[in-house]
Amino acid sequence: MNAIQKIKSAIVRRLTVREPDGWVPEGMRGDAGELVTDSTALSLSAVWACVNLLAGTIASLPLMVYRTDAQGKRTVARDHRLYRVLHDSPNYDQTAVDFWEFVSASLELWGNAYARVERSGGQVSGLHPIAPNLVSVRRLSNGSIEYRWTEDGKSFVETDQTMLHIRGFGGNPLGGMSTLHFGRNTFSLARAIDRSAGGMFKNGLRPSGVLTFAAWLSPEQRELAEKKLTEKFLGAVNSGRPLILEGGTTWQQLTISPEDAQMLESRSFSVEEICRFFGVPPHMVGRTEKSTSWGTGLEQQTLAFQKFTLRRRLKRIEQALEKQLLKPEDRANGITIEFNLEGLLRGDSAARASFYQSGLTNGWMTINEVRSLENMPAVEGGDVPRMQMQVVPITQAGTQNQLPAPNKE
């Protein structure tokens, strides 16, 4: 075997794993014997719903670049180069929603998200995402981290100076923990149950009932009985029609067996198991069998989802961007990167109105700030913070305190 053949064989061994039934794509088999990859896991409706929910929610939140001055006043830094990259379009092919949805889905499945950083004049001008399953990571002797991958026939080698690496749960500098790896037994079992259910309904005998005759039927009598029963009772329009039996004929209704019922219950339980891995309340992916579809219970679960599931994911992305993309002078100038959580209120007019009311009556928002969030033009005098004055000393009850006129300069 020459050198080229040896290299080719090594590459094949890396990209594939040997199984008793032959070569299969790289992946992991769970205890149930099913191969678990990103594609096979996403074929499970619960995994698809959880990843879709988390990635879609995060991607829909505006990612903002803020500047805080020496007086502590914070404004949106629209003039900063990173604002257009993070908020509008990270690269030529993707919108911000496309890019952050890919990043979030990568974190949920593989525990890592990678993007090659493009710079122009020393400033970040673009981010190009890379599929996590293509990337290998190692620590070099000089302490830096090296990233290698091959895509479209081209090999790439980058370091932590030219790569954005957002790590998932785990905290390891070389990478987060993969949900596909640690959840492989749960995903494998769910796929095995789905496959078993599909095979049962595809190949199994599933009549609705059995007619038992007192004596053997002739071929003509059997054909006549089947034909007449089909013509008279088949279809929804014939449901409920009376069945007349004679000559010792009996009818027995067939019901689902305990084994089949247990298998269907296992399918339902696998949904809850998958939701635990992603930290998603089951009702948010359509699993409401054990809870009412309305009420404060589900509302509290949704709030808990925002607090304990979304928040740490958002902080993980924010801190990775600030650490890897901001320069020392950016930090000195008070530049920070944050998701705007007010985007979660866009679909809830009551919660949005309550939020604005609290800000206006307590003086931490102005009328024009509220109008700007609602895409409305500013009004004269709307930049002055206001505060309600109901609670005053009893000696001042009934007096009128005039607010100073706004400075028009």
- SS3 for 321? helix
Residue 41, domain extent: 20-206+263-346
**202 plus 314 within the same structural domain:** yes
User: Where is average pLDDT lowest: 119-128, 151-160, 241-250?
Assistant: 241-250
| pLDDT band (50, 70, 90) for residue 26 | very low
**45 plus 171 within the same structural domain:** yes
pLDDT at 344: 67
**101 plus 163 within the same structural domain:** yes
Q: What is the mean pLDDT of residues 377-403?
A: 73
The answer to whether position 396 is within a domain reads: no
pLDDT at 83: 94
In whole angstroms, what separates CA 291 from the centre of its chain? 22
- SS3 for 377? coil
More confident residue, 226 or 345: 226
pLDDT surpasses 50 at 119: yes
Percentage of residues of the chain with pLDDT beyond 70: 68
CA-wise closest residue to 151 among 138, 136, 166, 173: 136
**88 plus 165 within the same structural domain:** yes
Name every residue whose Cβ is closer than 8 Å to that of residue 374 and which is 6 or more positions away in sequence.
none
**197 plus 327 within the same structural domain:** yes
**384 plus 338 within the same structural domain:** no
Structure confidence by residue, pLDDT tens digits, 322-381: 999 999 999 999 999 999 887 666 656 677 788 888 888 888 888 888 887 776 788 888
Which residues in 340-350 are b (16+ Cβ under 10 Å) and which e? eeeebbeeeee
pLDDT at 364: 83
pLDDT at 325: 95
The answer to whether position 212 is within a domain reads: yes
Rg (CA), the chain: 31
Looking at the structure of the chain, the number of domains it has is 3
> What type of residue is 209?
G
d(CA 281, CA 311): 15
**268 plus 372 within the same structural domain:** no
- 346, 379, 404: which is the final residue of a domain? 346
**249 plus 290 within the same structural domain:** no
**93 plus 156 within the same structural domain:** yes
| pLDDT band (50, 70, 90) for residue 230 | low
The answer to whether position 95 is within a domain reads: yes
- SS3 for 140? coil
282, 271 Cβ separation under 8 angstroms: yes
Q: What are the residue ranges of helices labelled H in 255-348?
A: 258-278, 296-304, 311-325, 328-332
More confident residue, 194 or 147: 147
Where are the extended beta strands (E) located within 340-381? Answer: none
Name every residue whose Cβ is closer than 8 Å to that of residue 270 and which is 6 or more positions away in sequence.
44, 46, 186, 189, 190, 193
pLDDT at 239: 58
**334 plus 316 within the same structural domain:** yes
The answer to whether position 229 is within a domain reads: yes
Percentage of residues of the chain with pLDDT beyond 90: 33
Q: Within the chain, how many helices (H) and strands (E) appear?
A: 14, 15
Structure confidence by residue, pLDDT tens digits, 163-213: 999 999 988 899 999 998 898 888 888 888 777 766 655 555 455 566 676
More confident residue, 70 or 332: 332
The answer to whether position 166 is within a domain reads: yes
**How far are the Cα atoms of 397, 399, 401, 402 from residue 394, in angstroms, in the given order?**
5, 10, 14, 18
d(CA 406, CA 409): 9
Name every residue whose Cβ is closer than 8 Å to that of residue 254 and which is 6 or more positions away in sequence.
207, 208, 209, 210
**102 plus 236 within the same structural domain:** no
Give the strands of the sheet with 335-339, arranged side by side: 74-76, 63-68, 335-339
The answer to whether position 177 is within a domain reads: yes
Name every residue whose Cβ is closer than 8 Å to that of residue 34 and which is 6 or more positions away in sequence.
40, 187, 188, 189, 191, 192, 195
**224 plus 329 within the same structural domain:** no
